Amino acid sequence: MPRSTAPWDRAVWAVAVIYLAGALTAAAVLWMLSDRWWVATTLLFGPRWVLLVPLAGLVPAMVLKDRQLLALLAVASLILIGPVMGMRIGWRRLIVRPDPSRDITVASLNAMGGEALTKSTVELLHDWGADIAAVQECGSDYARTLTGLLDWHTDTTSTVCLISRFPILDVIQMSNEGLREAGGAGVVVTALLDIDGARVFVTNIHLETPRAGLERIRAGQLISGASTLRGKSALREIELRRARRWVDQFDGPHIVAGDFNTPAESPIYRAAWSDWQNGFSRVGRGFGGTRWNGWIRARIDHVLANTDWIPLRAWNGDNVGSDHVAMIARLRLATKP
């Protein structure tokens, strides 16, 4: 209850309660309505940290007038930092100890064509400690540089490229003719690898982006932007579901990595992939933003694994000249081959 019946005390109490209610509402809207309602979708891909800005004025006001209300602000902050902004603490990484003889590292990077990268592929693989690297927006010139990598196996037959320390036994691509006719751009390619005697599937994904709708909204074109955003969300949902149906046909240890263009909080992402282990969601620390857009960091690149794997660590790579940074995960087969 308010500290007293004085108008100022009542006002401070009301503001604290409203802020807590707003945090709860933001979490509900994000997790339930994003990719269903354009306002929620804008929040999903936007700078969610701005919801913390009011604390700069609220905290001093509570300290001066009613310190017990700081508890409400603390709860609201935890809701915003956790469910809304996606902060992870990675507590599961404490359960299993790393074993270099058994673990593999998988990296995923949207290379934006590859021409602007500030490091060579060999340097990137070394920095990441990668055994497998999935590259999206793999430009033709960049792809040609991959074919000459010594001691590495590569597949450059599509706009997504795969680099592997392990032999690549086979590669098959999901047909996307229907998606392209509908305006989509989804690319899904699965490779069969021999990892120390185990047959392992690695699927490289690059799905449709909502950028066109978000840019129109940012430019003030709300009606056309909202319409475009709804259409892109529908396309992304179709691509997410089709990609999931595609990987389900492969039986065995499976890793899916790539640019999903969808954060993990999205209902359409969760409907398709919630039963797969998202590396950063399970064992990452921090916010894990991979798409750089000024002061916006969206975690739209993921490394997923089915239940044949144990996620051990997940982290972001450094800025190497692309508009994305790498998502990197360390995994271990749950059973020896």
Q: How long a stretch of residues is the chain?
A: 337
Model pLDDT for residues 296-326, shown as the tens digit of each residue = 889 999 999 999 999 999 999 999 999 999 9
Last residue of a domain, one of 26, 53, 84: 84
Question: For residue 291, what is the domain's CATH number?
Answer: 3.60.10.10
Is the pTM value of this prediction over 0.95? Answer: no
Asked whether residue 2 is domain-assigned, the answer is: no
Shared-domain flag, residues 106 and 236:
yes
* CA atoms of 19 and 241, how far apart (whole Å): 36
Shared-domain flag, residues 233 and 311:
yes
Model pLDDT for residues 14-39, shown as the tens digit of each residue = 999 999 999 999 999 999 999 999 99
Q: Are strands 296-298 and 291-293 parallel, antiparallel or unpaired?
A: antiparallel
Asked whether residue 89 is domain-assigned, the answer is: no
Shared-domain flag, residues 114 and 24:
no
* CA atoms of 66 and 14, how far apart (whole Å): 12
pLDDT in tens, the chain (337 residues): 776 677 878 888 999 999 999 999 999 999 999 999 999 999 999 999 999 999 999 999 999 888 899 999 999 999 999 999 999 999 998 888 878 888 999 999 999 999 999 999 999 999 999 999 999 999 999 999 998 888 899 999 899 999 999 999 999 999 877 666 666 778 999 999 999 999 999 999 999 999 999 999 989 999 999 999 999 999 999 999 999 999 999 999 999 999 999 999 999 999 999 999 999 999 999 999 999 887 788 999 999 999 999 999 999 999 999 999 999 999 999 876 5
Asked whether residue 312 is domain-assigned, the answer is: yes
As for how many domains the chain has, the answer is 2
CA triple 180-202-128, angle to 5 deg: 105
Shared-domain flag, residues 23 and 107:
no
3-state secondary structure of 209: coil
Q: Which helix (H) or strand (E) holds 274?
A: none
pLDDT of residue 4: 67
Shared-domain flag, residues 79 and 133:
no
Q: Which domain holds residue 144?
A: 94-333
pLDDT of residue 253: 96
Model pLDDT for residues 152-172, shown as the tens digit of each residue = 999 998 999 999 999 999 999
* CA atoms of 105 and 130, how far apart (whole Å): 5
Shared-domain flag, residues 46 and 167:
no
Q: Are 106 and 162 in contact (CB under 8 A)?
A: no
Shared-domain flag, residues 29 and 107:
no
Q: What is the DSSP string of 145-165?
A: HHTT-TT-EEE-SSSSEEEES
Q: Are 114 and 139 in contact (CB under 8 A)?
A: yes
Shared-domain flag, residues 53 and 193:
no
Last residue of a domain, one of 84, 105, 136: 84
Model pLDDT for residues 172-189, shown as the tens digit of each residue = 999 877 666 666 778 999
Q: Are 282 and 256 in contact (CB under 8 A)?
A: no
Residue of 328, 324, 272, 267 lying closest to 298 (CA atoms): 324
Last residue of a domain, one of 61, 84, 107: 84
